[in-house]
Structure 1
Amino acid sequence: MVEMDNFDLALLDELQRHGRATHQQLGERIPLSASQIGRRLQRLESVGVIDGYQVMLRPEALGLGVIAFTSLKLKHHNDSSIERFQQEIDSLPEVLECHAVVGDADYFLRIVAPDLNALSEFVMKKLMRVPGVDSVRSNIVLKTFKRGGPLPLDHLHQSQGRQA
């Protein structure tokens, strides 16, 4: 884990909530100058704490009204099968996330589609045809009330207190 002080943690917390804030605006919320903010951000980016910056879009506002969480099992679990599967899944823009898991499934996917017919087409004609896929089960989202929230950082503040 990367060493961070309370200023770094406050900066990360602010960025998660206000990603478009300028260095100056961040400096008004965190008692650091804009140049200090810039240097800290550059360091946090270079060590991989900050993975990137993006805008969060509302799928339904863009005609993607169906979200499905899909569990998927593979037929084979050798390295080449897994690698090919991951490459195929990576090329499907409908799959927003793919997680390797332990349990009844091998992978969990978050999929978006314009409607149920499009989801059905995607699953039957693309997902089920990915080499190595054995079975697919989908749960369709009825309503989303919390989406993409900031990561909790309280445990890092607590560990800072123990180190002091």
Structure 2
Amino acid sequence: MERAATDRSPAGARLTRAMASRFVPVLGHSAEIIPFPAERAPTQGEMKKIDDIDVKILEILSEDARASISEIGRRIHKSRTAVEARIARMEQAHIIRGYRVILGEQGPRVGPANEAFLIIRHSGGSDCHIIWNEIKEYPNVVECHSLFGPLDLIVKMRYAQFEELMAMKEHLNGISEVREVTICPVLKTWS
């Protein structure tokens, strides 16, 4: 990136190569150079630049966050120590902010152990989406089904304490489109 000799800073001043050495490329679809403030240079732990090797490491970790450092090293033709140092720098610079586990259907249940179904009848019309919008952000709501017939919605919910279930019932009863809520805690499940 030898653009530094012709780029201009936000203040419009011409950038020299010495100034460019204090810039940090930002990872994105196209690299953009963001200058550090003139009064300080990057401190230890801040990355001076992200190169093609860092991008390859990020691509591998994006595909498989469990890839071992040795495996990454083999794939990019770098030593384990070099890969480990690059990952540590990217973590310190908050380019890598964490790793996630996404459980499949057969994974163990994590979180509240109890389940219940909430059967909801609404006041009429097509109010199901309004009710769904009111509850979809609750982390214990697992799924919601709009039904044809005498019942309008069934919500599957997980809870740790019975009080959480009652609080959700109260919340649902406070929605003007809800006419009736029946809670049905699950006693036993067969699969």
Q: TM-score range by the shorter chain?
A: 0.3 to 0.5
> Which is higher, the Rg of structure 1 or of structure 2?
2
Higher helix fraction: Structure 1 or Structure 2?
Answer: 1
